[in-house]
Structure 1
């Protein structure tokens, strides 16, 4: 223990371990909360896009085009600009534009749009023969969705969620740089602004560790459920 403390004081003289721990928890909180909400919204929007598309179970081209346009808009807007544009909404919803909770609306909206498109793509890759077989047996819409579409596309859905969570980690870093807290806040305000590059490196390494953990967990889950 003494050797670790000596190493930290030698090579990371400006780093406060307790602060690093707090900001790591803040980053994990933003990632998990926004990831869970984005997963739910993304799946709902993605299914709706799939069903209302051409040749879909509930084909409605005008509705599909409008929703697809909205999704594309939120995917196209750079995240840091989206945060700024959503300041009034965030202020109304959360009561403040600072802190970890204030970052959630922008994170959820951005990630939901991104994941919704991945969900739509995953559902399009489901074997049409399986869908037609289910329909021929008189399956209702909810049965088709929960017993056919989601199970058959689950490997692609998990892969897409893995990519989305990793992008959310990057989003928390951007949000942190403008006052949301987390490792991005630590790297920018405590590290870069004060020329403490050891703090920047420490925050970066923790972010990389989080990203690698997400990737490993996602890849493992895909391998476990992929029937191919």
Structure 2
């Protein structure tokens, strides 16, 4: 019996080793066959997604500095998308619902942007703390607000992803636990609701991986 609603998200350990985190690497097994076989529909779909993301990220970064820079954000989108999708399957650990995973993605990216920006474009970073057209009296407050908003960016990226993944899974778990107490008619309704929620979670998985990658791209474009 669960002592806590969130205990279903806890990693379990066998032989003092948490094997649940291996689910993060399962997506890698799906990728290699696409590059060794005759182009399939899956390969063509994935190529189309990559090219679309590349064109969009190139616009966000700027054409003159986008050579190869979009690849890291496409890879980030891919790893989050694979992990979000895998978490929808029964008995597979959802690694993106844990701050350990999401902060490990957001914090190094944000730190690298900040170190690069403050090292190479110090004056631009200082000017960025005061939005254009700010009255002189409000400048000290705007510097404080912009600094705080900049500092919490990795936290908001990580919390947004993990909270969205937890919310849907938790709702499905709560509804699923009530199934044993329902009549046969209500059970049919519950199954339909669960299928609709699963469809919604599939959309959320794609949207959240896209949002994470786009926001990371925007944060990168701000330091150049």
Could you state the TM-score of these two structures normalised by the residue count of structure 2?
Answer: 0.31
* TM-score, L = length of structure 1: 0.30
